[in-house]
Amino acid sequence: MHELLEDLDPEQGKNIIPSPPPDWMEPMLATLTERRFSDPGWIFERKFDGERCLVFRKGGRVRLLSRNRHRLNEAYPEIEEAIRGSGGADFVADGEIVAFDGDATSFSRLQSRMQVTDTEKARRIDVPVFLYLFDLMYLDGYDITRVGLRSRKEILALLFAYTDPLRYSRHRDEIGEECYREACTKGWEGIIAKRAAGMYLHRRSPDWLKFKCILQQEFVIGGFTEPAGSRAGFGALLIGYYDGDRLLSAGKVGTGFDERLLAALSRHLSSLERETSPFSDRRERGKGEHWVEPELVCEVAFTEWTGTGVLRHPRFIGLRDDKAAREVVRERGDQPV
């Protein structure tokens, strides 16, 4: 048994379970909430705007996997190397890969690394990335998901000598409202509130709550409009979300694109064109509109939802390949999303 597990207090030690190294663990997911609170039974961490990454190390083999099990090693070779050189223990850990724009994490900057499948190409892209680790689920022959979060984080903090690109996601105890105000002042996306004694559950849970400073979520691309004036590619994306089996329209987003993305995304959209609308509530095609197969997922920031269910002041952030289109639903406070 690893010495860090031997140091657990007896009550927590009862919760470790002998287990062979897992090939996969479903990640725990947070629930959006409109409540802001402080509580001594909760810890509060920074919410990162990046790509979720589960790290599996067994012997000399390191696997970096997204939340939908896509391999990330080739996109982030420096992180794989850092994990391989960080000690001999077998483990499974949870974290987020990020890039920065100043002091804020930037999903837009990370885009140039997310889509890369060639290690040498990834090394040539001048966008430094970092892996913030925030949870530990397995260590040297033992499943520790039933151990309380505070104890799991104590082990995680001591497991490595954290040097870039590996970073430990620090937390603060109890003062959730203060943490939230500070996060919004600094321009962060928000914070995550976590029940300090909670287990690691392989599903979405109210034991992890998202306090968001800005409204931002994933949407499915269901079409596009033709460009106007001197603009190339397309004018705007027609976006929506699923409600059961129905894809509902959330309006369109026409800002946040650079010329390179306009050209590349336009080619991809052209290959997905279809004759009928994928939206259940938008059957008629408007002037200059094109329908596409609802396969692509994008991240969009916005100020609010209108009373008719359309986004106000939307801005394109980037494409996502770590979430299936069918998983995209409208985020609502205090409801699973």
C-alpha span between 208 and 201 (Å, rounded)? 10
Q: Which of these is catalytic: 14, 47, 153, 252? A: 47
- Asked whether the beta carbons of 259 and 232 are under 8 A apart, the reply is yes
Q: To which residue do tokens 């990834």 refer?
A: 122
Contacts of 264 (CB under 8 A, 6+ apart): none
SS in 3 state form for 163-215?
CCCEEECCEEEECHHHHHHHHHHCCCCEEEEEECCCCCCCCEEEEEEEEECCE
- Asked if residue 134 lies in contact with residue 94, where contact means CB atoms within 8 angstroms, the answer is yes
Alpha carbon 310 to its chain's center: 23
Active-site annotation holds for 212: no
The helix/strand/coil state of 79 is: helix
Give the residue carrying structure tokens 């260590």. 139
For residues 74 and 122, the answer to whether their CB atoms sit within 8 Å is: yes
Token couple for 22: 């897992």
Q: Which residues are catalytic?
A: 47
